[in-house]
Structure 1
Amino acid sequence: MENTTELGFNRTGAQSSPLSVHSMQIYADEQSPHAAPTSDGMPDGKAIASVRSLYVAEAERVGSVPMPGTVTGAFNTVLSHLRGRNPEVLVDKLGERLAFERTGVRLYQALIDKATVLGGLETLPFTIADLQKIRGEELEHMHIVASALDSLGADPTAQTPSADVSAVASMGVMQVLTDPRTTIAHGLEAILMAELTDSDSWNLLVALTEQAGQDTLLPDFRRAMQNENAHLLKVRGWLRSVVLGEGA
């Protein structure tokens, strides 16, 4: 597969069949619900908003943070509540980061696989060793979070609500990386989305850990945060180099 953007027989746009545009518009108008438009000419959307509101009002939460599975964990939970803290919030976000870092390992492995093949077609701004280093750091971060959960008496294997939501949100990123049709630029764009989330999420986790008074966790968390900020800068630079190089 050519690792470049090129012109081709793309017939997805209306300009590919100008004589049919009018009939397409008539059909679309006939199928659309007849709702009073707003001042900007768009449908007001009240019907769908009403349905969504009903579901939101009646829905249960995505899940729950599991009860501590150890005596130490139960004691720490009770003690934290007595101090006016909510340890379940920290556990939820730790579960989210563990799941995301595990996904990060898989994302970079998928990019490594793609780059191994497509890298032979052009000069890339990174080496396989660069990607392997970041993949290793993502794995290290996963173990850091798992160890932190264990030290708090929480179950590192449990899927917390935020971990569940994070997994759903990142499904598209993984699909881009594993699609054999996507290029290196596509892969880097997907990775950039993940790294933007990862960088901000580690900054938030450090702040939440400080607020919870879990000072023993902070050195490893801050190191992971610095790593993720560095990943973001690298991926952003690589993507810029690939796209600008291709557009030259």
Structure 2
Amino acid sequence: MQRLAQGNKDKAIDLLNERLTFERASVRLYDSMLEKIGRAADPELQGSLGQLRQSRDQEKEHEEWLEAQIRALGGDAHAETDRSRLIALESQGLEKVVLDGDQNPAHLFHALLTAELVDNAGWQLLLELADEADDDEAREAFRRRLHEEEEHLIFTREVVERLTRTELLGSPAEVVAAAHPT
């Protein structure tokens, strides 16, 4: 991480604080999702709890890792920076959907999908910057976390697609029956 921060340590800390702020928001989103989906009657949604929990735990690990990296660079992991304020403001809409009482699983997973798209883009940027700085240690750390985020995105996208199909076309059995009338 030292090599990445070599050119502009304050800006590197700002970028890491941005990611940290988003990871903290992601943990709150996943905590709320686990609670709400845990109360859902749909067995398919209940079946997603294990993956939701794993994703939440990985987001928490990302948060803790980022805090350590910021401290190692001499930064304050709890300081507000330009980019952390921006991402906190941007995250408010997602938090409003997931944290503030919406119970519709399609809405909840759609908001989570939006969060995962942003999260993937943030880690991808850090990976590209580490590549450009030729920082092997940062590159590997970012690549690992980006891979985990890609898995979160795939899972969330699949759930959103399944929920949307069901809302639009009906249950899988209804879709088959409609496609093959007797």
Aligned match of 1:100 in 18, 22, 35? Answer: 22
Q: CA deviation at 1:129?
A: 1.4
Where does 1:67-82 land on structure 2 (aligned, <5 Å)? Answer: 80=6
The TM-score normalised by the length of structure 1 is 0.62
> Kindly tell me: are residues 231 and 103 of structure 1, through their superposed partners in 2, closer, same or farther at Cα, counting changes over 3 Å?
same
3-state SS of paired residue (1:124) = helix
Identity of aligned residues (%): 31
Partner of 2:117: 196
> Kindly tell me: are residues 211 and 150 of structure 1, through their superposed partners in 2, closer, same or farther at Cα, counting changes over 3 Å?
farther
Q: CA deviation at 1:165?
A: 0.5
Which structure is larger by alpha-carbon Rg, 1 or 2? 1
**Counting helix residues as a fraction of each chain, which structure ranks higher?**
2
Is 1:182 the equivalent of 2:95?
Answer: no
| C-alpha distance in 1 between matches for 2:49 and 2:9 | 40
Structure 1 gap segments, 5+ residues each = 1-75
Deviations for 1:78-131, whole angstroms, at most 9, x for unmatched residues? x93xxxx2222221110000111011011011111110112x145328421111
| C-alpha distance in 1 between matches for 2:115 and 2:13 | 21
Structure 2 gap segments, 5+ residues each = 170-182
Is 1:162 the equivalent of 2:83?
Answer: yes
Query: Which amino acid counterpart does residue 86 of structure 1 have in structure 2?
Result: N
Partner of 1:216: 137
| C-alpha distance in 2 between matches for 1:152 and 1:212 | 16
| C-alpha distance in 2 between matches for 1:158 and 1:171 | 18
Aligned match of 1:87 in 1, 6, 9? Answer: 9
> Kindly tell me: are residues 95 and 89 of structure 1, through their superposed partners in 2, closer, same or farther at Cα, counting changes over 3 Å?
same
The question of whether the paired residues in 2 share the 8 Å contact of 1:91 and 1:154 is answered with yes
Q: Which moved more, 1:124-133 or 1:218-227?
A: 124-133
Is 1:173 the equivalent of 2:94?
Answer: yes
Deviations for 1:182-202, whole angstroms, at most 9, x for unmatched residues? 300000110111100000110
| C-alpha distance in 1 between matches for 2:9 and 2:144 | 22
Q: CA deviation at 1:168?
A: 0.5
Aligned match of 1:152 in 43, 65, 73? Answer: 73
Supply the RMSD in Å over aligned alpha carbons: 2.0
